Structure 1
């Protein structure tokens, strides 16, 4: 199993042979940055070994010279560089751990280690780009830690199991549990050996005949990641294609190493991969933060994917949550089904869909009205069982909230107003009607139910609608008979036993057996669903953070109605008869003789209903693309039993642009209809279409310095002025040569680049400076600022320059404290005075003074999304003349 998974990772198709210039340019940048690092480290407490430094430089120089004509050798040189860099990171780590350093030395060593680690990751990413943008190559599979290139969709699963992610050369990412192996064996000794080797613990097991599948948590530090490349090659020696795989964490790398090592030794070992999903992310739908125990495997878990009355694999194994995921994977969650709940005590809560409505079938009676002898807000909590929104951190999760549009219709529950409510629901276009109430009419008055029975029979026969009713909570057989020689039913349980109505009984909590209080019947109770569910807020219990248990066939019924809505959403073209047939033929057996083969299932029913379907996953409908970079085209395919192979063809405005479930292609500027069509071996076909636009954006150009919020920046006539600007275009910043600075209305620039320091040559007086940046398509962005030029004074002003960080730098969060996230950095600058007089310095962050030394270590606040910081280095000479330099940086955290 693992061998197949890893073999899939190794299959990277060949791409174009010509080397794009950006790769060559970035290799040169890597080489130059290595040179700066070596010189910086040489001046510190632990210089790099000369032989190592020479070897690393030679690797970058080789890659630089090889990339155009020998890209595979360039990839090998980058790998040699990366591996040497990782070894030096280890050396520096050991050096730091050895101790004996003062604070400045420790800061320098730590900074160098971080710098070197980043260069190694850049080399790995460049190697990956060679394989996708230039050429497939023979060579080793290199797996390394890069938390930027590989990012799991969450830190952990709901039960606190850590997640890791890997990203291969073509950008395909997959999440997995970072400390678990799946060991499959029929021999206990094989399991025992792996458990002992990695100090493991068996968490769970699944039986498959003679084979057992074990979930094993391991101590990943006992793995040997340095062997991973060789172990991967040993698993499948016939596949020699090179790969560059980024893993999000050290633990994830170690986990992969453990799995590959065990697999290469002929044990059957798996990685615990975690599937994704775009509208139900990570199979994790957080609901209320607190609730009663017993609904998840242990305690209360706010993730409804763990709730045993909803999930797949639990004691009831109904698979509602898995049905959501299947529908999401083929884009069926957009198929909305209208459903009516006939009840009393309605309130639209924060846990109900935005499309929810309530009305009354009785004129002048508010939908919120409720009888004093009934449970309060019954209609509200009944609606929860079918329609409570999953994944919103509130309340509970209904079986069909992903597809249903609910309407609450107030009714007294008598036959007439129930018929009126049904009629009102039909007029509103509802395809499903839920009635969580019943009355047992004794046999001698059974004839009095015939009008209601005739009405429900008619509604069911004439309208494309399904009617559901609760069986009742008396623990009785609704089909029980009386009489002597001739037998007849003791009572008519209405509407449960009405013609055209599907009657629902209740399963005991976490069981396939009947709940003791649920009615049953071999003829008229058609299906059984969970009797105990969770409910969210109502006006008497307004807390959105608490879920409460509710019991009764009142809740089993909307649960079942919700599953019917899922089946209908799977194929909206189905008739009511087909939906009912799918629901009934997918029922499963129970050991309870009063239930027999009547246990509801959701997953198999939805899979049964789904037609052959292709869904375009990327790009999404309405996406705005860039014509400057390739777009990822990706689709999901549901075969519905049609024979493979399937030919998948992609068209843009009718023109073929690619084949297969995944490929990349540039999209020219304009609006385009993207169609994916799958044709199966038996001739059946299915298609999906999205509309996208490709836009060549005008560059955004900003002057970040010199600026002032209090006065116009003023400079002496002969003074060198530090100018700073930023630019952003479709592919990132504009090149230096595209950034030009103009004085007043001149058409001739006085400077080029993002950060020139120059004398403008301007006369004394007021002036404007304009920064203009243009892309290759001739689209330009610009910004203008004022400056003042004054005559030179007898005392020349001091000179201040910020040298670290560079203007426009993106800094990732690297720590947090009680006040939040931050990036800790040592600022640096130069300050001089032409007369040699003493100069005082101050640093400001967004106008707030943060330091008064030249090289302070500061914490720049950040968090989810970008946090912008304007950093100003101010110098004041002994004559009181002030000059400053400023840069703008961004601190960000990936959330």
Structure 2
């Protein structure tokens, strides 16, 4: 709305056209009339692009079209930051024509549709999530649009990007024009629950697909795709069930450790080969066929338990639950036995050995001590995992000598008693990796053989790197075992192993048999997890006005939107059903509002908030007379005022609740009403006060000081505009009745009438010369831009002596 200066006894008439310019519009506000200058306006709201304002993640995963959804962030002047999607607007309408016009204006594409009836919601319109082209955003109008939407919009604010600022301008423009739109904000809530993590910014290579910073999308972690392992969903299930706080000690027996930001906090490293240091000492051996692998231990630890969602490196299955024990050990069997003993003493429940040796049959007896040790550690309650090896061989294969057939090679520790031997799947596939050993009897389970791992001293950049081998499939499956144990720490090692094997995916590749199913294993242990309920709302809500309450409900077993939600209050009884309700509170005071969610399996969760129903006092505005006005004794003086009240359905306090008083006791007060008249019989200064009081006794008041002086010999006519009313919102393209009354104190006739209108800083225009006329606004003014306008209408009446009265 364009603010203009008022003149004595004028009344402002707001007119706001909707695009196109000839369409009807309503006004949001009215300027006070009078000869005094208006209050100093608030500084305009402003925005700057500040790259230091960074959203929590760069983008969200795309919809079915796969197009990423970029995020932007806005920082308030108090330092708080909120994320939103930089090219999406939420449009609410049941008018197909309005939707089409909106899409045409912004080259829009509907990404998703919310039909309230599908969720048993009533009283809401259809919502459309629209991707918009913000190239046409008008930044020059952003400040005015926000001020039109909120008269108190002010302050300096920062936006993370130019695209984000353009989106704010588009949304504000539409809202100011009367379109029901919203910005698609992105709360901050728990990342594992929202199926979003942020790992290293970039990745090198391919691990069953191109790198994505969100681990939930990785071929090894996703519930979708060929492998269907569901590590991300297992994390989410544990999070919702409140089990991520359960810690499981996981030992990695290897060489070449270098802990970093991806190693779980509180890691412990020991050396089983003194004087070699447990960390920072590279691998003393190669990894098959002379291939160097100086930081093999670091890569194995990353595959098992790299910490997710820290913007660094990769994300191993056990990352959220593992307490890491890094045991630097040589690959000979004696030190391996003692390394297992050291891990056992430190409380390890899981140990991984990503190394192997093919012992010929004729020396098989030499493995028996090692086998006895592994079997003993297994009986002690540990789970031991080992890599099957990368020689593309059947570890169960037999050879015949002189007609006697037997297994010719013992792959140790893979084939040891008490060890779970792990083979490797090809990247992004359920088929066996071409290099992986296999064996129906001794290779117990397969895991993904191509994984993303984090940095090491030879590749220190914060990048995820694709790496392959059974050396990484084995710790991956060990990490899944840690998730299963976290779901129920009271389980025995045998129970955890049985869960891993019984829930594994059957595999069509005869050389694989089965491969790990993280989500299935965790779900089996958790059972039916009750839904999680978070209520958005609470605090103070206005009396006698519709209040919105919404609950975010997530469930492990049920897809979104899940669950039956019933709302109740300890004061008001049942309030409604559905994740979102609108309720009218008709009594004052505090109450506890509860949302009770029940999933398809009958599991129930409740969440409660305290709601305090308050009565907001009215807001009184005294329009006339103005401060320091001078009026004549015995002349009729027009008094005008109004009051808003949030607790009234139309947010307007009834005129019957407005009372005028004077500081001079002999004045003819009190007087009740919005537009009244008074005659003063004594000279001098006095204070007039307008008080608005609502039905619950809350009140507000505004006062002006005036001075009554002797009248001139010939008083001007008494004038009152009777139509339209102050604050009315007439259409711009239809005739408006302008009518008023006038009388001369001395009874002189004839009286001459003149109607004028004034838009903005333009000069007044005469539009009629009778007590009552019809006036069409757009025949006088060109409302060729969207926005809010204030038009002042004035009636001047002149008596035969040339004295002019005005209203």
User: What is the aligned partner in structure 2 of residue 402 from structure 1?
Assistant: 320
Q: Does 1:290 align with 2:198?
A: no
Contact kept in structure 2, 1:164 and 1:248, CA below 8 Å: no
Are 1:583 and 2:500 counterparts? Answer: yes
The alignment status of 1:529 with 2:447, answered yes or no, reads yes
Matched, 1:241 2:241: no
Q: How far 1:48 moved relative to its partner?
A: 4.9
Equivalent-residue separation in structure 1 for 2:61 and 2:386 (angstroms): 37
CA deviation vs aligned residue, 1:261-317 (integer Å, no higher than 9, x gap): xxxxxxxxxxx99999723375333333333343364x4433333322332322333
Change in CA separation of 1:402 and 1:245 when aligned onto 2, cut-off 3 Å: same
Mapping of 1:360-759 within 5 angstroms? Answer: 360-368=271-279, 369-374=281-286, 375-463=293-381, 465-484=382-401, 485-544=403-462, 546-595=463-512, 597-614=513-530, 616=532, 618=534, 636-638=554-556
Structure-2 change in CA distance of 1:495 and 1:236 (3 Å): closer
The alignment partner of 1:340 has SS state of strand
Shift of 1:237: 14
Q: 1:531 to 1:242 in 2, by over 3 A?
A: closer
How many angstroms apart in 2 are the aligned matches of 1:540 and 1:417? 26
> What secondary structure sits across from 1:408 in the alignment?
strand
Residue 328 of structure 1, aligned match among 239, 246, 258: 239
CA distance in 1, matches of 2:329, 2:21: 83
How big is each residue's C-alpha offset from its partner over 1:672-697, in whole Å with a ceiling of 9 and x where there is no partner? 9x999988999x8777999x9999xx
Q: Is 1:157 aligned to 2:69, yes or no?
A: no
Shift of 1:521: 0.8
RMSD: 5.6
Does the 8 Å CA contact 2:108/2:133 hold for their aligned counterparts? no
Q: Which residue of 2 aligns with 1:344?
A: 255
Number of corresponding residues: 492
| Alignment partner, residue 170 of structure 1 | none
Closer, same or farther: CA 177–466 of 1 in aligned 2, 3 Å: farther
Q: Is the 8 A contact 1:179 1:251 kept in 2?
A: no
Kindly indicate whether the alpha-carbon contact (under 8 Å) linking 2:433 and 2:449 is maintained by their aligned counterparts in 1.
Answer: yes
Shift of 1:651: 12
SS for the counterpart of 2:323 is strand
SS in 1 for 2:415: coil
Residue 354 (1) aligns with residue 265 (2):
yes
Structure richer in helix, relative to its length: 1
CA contact (8 A) 1:164 1:249 kept: no
1:461 deviates by 2.2
Unaligned runs of 5+ in 2: 8-13, 31-42, 47-54, 73-82, 91-98, 135-183, 287-292, 613-807
C-alpha separation between the residues in 1 aligned to 2:130 and 2:57? 11
Gap change, CA 1:687 and 1:359, over 3 Å in 2: farther
Question: Does structure 2 retain, via aligned residues, the 8 Å contact 1:333–1:569?
Answer: yes
Q: TM-score, normalised by structure 1?
A: 0.46
Secondary structure of 1:493's aligned partner:
strand
Kindly indicate whether structure 1 or structure 2 has the higher relative contact order, using CA contacts under 8 Å at least 6 residues apart: 2
Once the two structures are superposed, the pairs formed by residues 82-93 of structure 1 within 5 Å of their partners are none
Secondary structure at the counterpart of residue 333 of structure 1: coil
Quote the offset at 1:599 in angstroms: 1.9
| Distance change in 2, residues 1:154/1:537 (3 Å) | closer
Q: Rate the CA distance shift 1:626–1:275 in 2: closer, same or farther, 3 A.
A: closer
Distance 1:607 1:658, change over 3 A: farther
Deviation at 1:592, TM superposition (A): 2.6
- Unaligned 5+ segments in structure 1 are 1-33, 41-45, 62-110, 116-150, 166-172, 181-196, 199-217, 253-271, 696-895
Deviation at 1:527, TM superposition (A): 0.9
- Residue by residue over 1:594-653, the C-alpha shift from the partner in whole angstroms, topping out at 9 and shown as x without a partner, is 11x212222222222222333655379xxx996889997655445699xx998999999x
Q: Deviations over 1:148-179 (max 9, x none)?
A: xxx998654376523699xxxxxxx9999959
